[in-house]
Amino acid sequence: MKLPGEQFIKSSADRFMKAPAGRFINLHAERFIKSPAGQFIKERRYIVPAPVYIEMGVDTFRALQENEGLELPLERLNNGRLSDACRENLAVGLKAFLKREKWQLPARAICAIAGTGLSLRRLVLPPAPKSEWQRLLLLQIETEFPLSPDELAWGCRQLSEEPAHGAPVRQEFMVAAVRKEVLEDYSSALANCGVRPVFTLAALARSRFCPVPDEPYSILDLDSKHSEWIAFENNIPAVLRIFPWGTDNFAATEQTPDAAIEAIRSQPGRTLFLTGAGDRHELVAALARKLGDGINCRRVEAGEESGWSAGVFGVRQWAGMNGGVPSLTLRTKPKRIRGVPAKLQLSDPVLRQRALVATVLLIGFLVLPYAQALLLKPYVAHKVAAIQSQQGRLTTIDRELTFLQYLKENSPPYLDALYLFGTAAPPGTRLDSVTMNKHGEVSLSGSFGSFQQVVDFRTKLIQSGFFSTVSVDEQVPAQQKLNVRMTAVWKPVQARERLSIGPSAAEIAQATNGPASPKLSNH
């Protein structure tokens, strides 16, 4: 049987998962388990384990975590408290069932307890401000219950509506109380197994599981040797009783149920929900026969799996609504009425653990800057001193750079100028003298074939962009040639930087293979 889906995994790669209460909790580790189909699948484990739903019946302990159930018999002493042997068995069984890892936080448990030794009262408070309710309620409990509130574990549920504008009006509460030791027994037994329990009434929890009619009704839950009966009027518990017979000894105490029959018949409710009967159809039939036609006996079963019961499923339904808090919670400390401020209880181990973590983080946050200063200062000081001792090298680098840059900027481009003369000179030109200095002054004398060749030569030199001025100082015709004296000045280094002078790679390759005429490329 498949349980209603109450959790989903966002994706297999996600490290977060949504828990039943709607909180995303961090995935911490994975291990493999064997599925019913025989396949190995990843079992996901969380820092915050899945909640546990528990019914602490009169004769039976039932627990449900996710889809896994546990059922253990309970053995009680005459005063209704668990025997030592029973508590030991319970601890062993529950620990094995929960498989809690050491790194996991305690699992949250909603534990529905049986009505053994439990008193249920409706208390009416006189008109008073809300801040006074707590005090008045304690006074009423003192009056109505045989024990003082300090000796009781009790819880209450507000029955009347709250006044609209806070005006003091009569308030009605339903109060459930049990001896404090009973709840402390349960609480310590569960806490030893790594469970953080919240207690409520199993009889109330069962009402969440039954299809509640509009009219008064009652629920009879059959355990192995005891039965628990609760009657509701206007959906408010009116009577809660424990009968000393159950599924195992119903036949043996054939006469005993008559008291129960009378009690059920005396209630105004005509519908009786019967839970926990299992496959005991003859028992149900016998009970229905005894109740007669006036009572509509309806059987409600949670299932036959281990740990499944109406009480367990009732608390699980509670967990899914109302913020996961039962409408009536039993506490060993005075219950805080909604809206009434209460002191922060650091006795809760989880709260204490969180407070400790928060304190450590806060201290770390405050101390870290100082610790950093103390721990890292020697290291940083050593580093800074080492760098400062090397600062002289920076000056050396600066000087070397300046010197080398001076050398580069003052290296005259004699070869570039000669290359340009070579490429610009027409065939048949004879250069008699070339004089250059580092200031860029060039003096050239030679002979050309014609005036046009001189003009072309001069034009090419100017177009090269290398020279700022090119002038022909003297041209003297002589024997079919023209003797020329020219001067030129090349541009400063910044202006020449953009020029690309010299043979290209292709021209060098051609020159290597055979004769070629070099070209001037100007960018």
Partner 1 sequence: MRPLTQRDQRTIRYGGIAVGIYLVLFCVLHVWKFFEHKRSDYNDLVQQAHLLKDQIEPYQTKILVVQKLMKEYHLDAAKLSEATVVAQASAAIQDEAKADGVALGAIHESSAQSTGLELASIHIQGNGPVKGTLTLLDRLQRLGYPLIIDSVQVIPNNMQPGQVKFDLTIAVLDFEQWKKPEAAHA
* Region of 112-120, 348-356, 391-399, 511-519 interacting with partner 1 (CB under 8 A): 391-399
Q: Which of 387, 455, 509, 511 binds partner 1 (CB under 8 A)?
A: 387
432 is an interface residue for partner 1 by CB under 8 A: yes
Is 357 or 397 the residue whose CB approaches partner 1 more closely? 397
Q: CB of residue 407 vs partner 1: minimum separation in angstroms?
A: 6
Q: CB of residue 442 vs partner 1: minimum separation in angstroms?
A: 10
Length of the chain: 523
Is 260 or 486 the residue whose CB approaches partner 1 more closely? 486
Q: How far apart are CA 109 and CA 312, in angstroms?
A: 11
362 is an interface residue for partner 1 by CB under 8 A: no
* Region of 98-106, 109-117, 366-374, 508-516 interacting with partner 1 (CB under 8 A): 366-374
Q: CB of residue 438 vs partner 1: minimum separation in angstroms?
A: 5
Q: Which amino acid is at 293?
A: D
Q: CB of residue 496 vs partner 1: minimum separation in angstroms?
A: 16
Q: Which of 99, 136, 158, 414 binds partner 1 (CB under 8 A)?
A: 414
472 is an interface residue for partner 1 by CB under 8 A: no
User: In 3-state terms, what secondary structure has residue 277?
Assistant: coil
Count of residues that interact with partner 1, criterion CB under 8 A: 42
511 is an interface residue for partner 1 by CB under 8 A: no
Q: CB of residue 448 vs partner 1: minimum separation in angstroms?
A: 15
Is 96 or 380 the residue whose CB approaches partner 1 more closely? 380
Q: CB of residue 520 vs partner 1: minimum separation in angstroms?
A: 17
> Is the CB of residue 416 less than 8 Å from the CB of residue 502?
yes
> Is the CB of residue 5 less than 8 Å from the CB of residue 67?
no
Q: Which of 14, 215, 398, 474 binds partner 1 (CB under 8 A)?
A: 398
334 is an interface residue for partner 1 by CB under 8 A: no
* Region of 122-130, 354-362, 370-378, 492-500 interacting with partner 1 (CB under 8 A): 370-378
Q: Which of 383, 506, 508, 519 binds partner 1 (CB under 8 A)?
A: 383
47 is an interface residue for partner 1 by CB under 8 A: no
Radius of gyration of the chain (CA): 50
Q: How far apart are CA 423 and CA 426, in angstroms?
A: 8
| Helix segments in 195-348, DSSP class H | 202-209, 257-266, 281-291, 310-319
Q: Which of 72, 288, 431, 472 binds partner 1 (CB under 8 A)?
A: 431
Strand partners, 13: none
Strand partners, 62: 55, 71
The C-alpha angle with vertex 181 and arms to 121 and 314, in degrees rounded to 5, equals: 55
Is 33 or 373 the residue whose CB approaches partner 1 more closely? 373
Q: How far apart are CA 136 and CA 122, in angstroms?
A: 14
> Is the CB of residue 103 less than 8 Å from the CB of residue 28?
yes
Is 165 or 439 the residue whose CB approaches partner 1 more closely? 439
CA distances from 288 to 211, 271, 272, 414 (A): 19, 11, 10, 125
Q: CB of residue 363 vs partner 1: minimum separation in angstroms?
A: 14
Q: Which of 10, 15, 23, 438 binds partner 1 (CB under 8 A)?
A: 438
* Phi, psi at 357, each rounded to 5°: -60, -45
Q: CB of residue 406 vs partner 1: minimum separation in angstroms?
A: 5
Question: How many other CB atoms sit within 10 Å of the CB of residue 503?
Answer: 17
459 is an interface residue for partner 1 by CB under 8 A: no
What's the gap between Cα 404 and its chain centre? 61
Is 10 or 438 the residue whose CB approaches partner 1 more closely? 438
Question: How many other CB atoms sit within 10 Å of the CB of residue 4?
Answer: 8
Nearest CA to 66 among 46, 47, 51, 45?
51
Q: How many CA atoms lie within 13 A of 262 on its CB side?
A: 5
> Is the CB of residue 273 less than 8 Å from the CB of residue 300?
yes
Is 164 or 407 the residue whose CB approaches partner 1 more closely? 407
* Region of 147-155, 191-199, 207-215, 401-409 interacting with partner 1 (CB under 8 A): 401-409
* Region of 63-71, 73-81, 334-342, 373-381 interacting with partner 1 (CB under 8 A): 373-381
Sign of the CA dihedral 357, 363, 367, 371? negative
24 is an interface residue for partner 1 by CB under 8 A: no
388 is an interface residue for partner 1 by CB under 8 A: yes
374 is an interface residue for partner 1 by CB under 8 A: yes
Q: Kind and range of the H or E element at 241?
A: strand 236-243
Q: Which of 234, 255, 266, 433 binds partner 1 (CB under 8 A)?
A: 433
Q: How far apart are CA 51 and CA 20, in angstroms?
A: 8
Q: CB of residue 141 vs partner 1: minimum separation in angstroms?
A: 37
> Is the CB of residue 153 less than 8 Å from the CB of residue 182?
yes
368 is an interface residue for partner 1 by CB under 8 A: no
Sign of the CA dihedral 333, 334, 337, 340? negative
Strand order in the sheet with 171-179: 119-125, 171-179, 152-158
Residues lying near partner 1 in the complex (CB under 8 A) = 369-370, 372-374, 376-377, 380-381, 383-384, 387-388, 394-395, 397-408, 410-412, 414-415, 418, 430-438
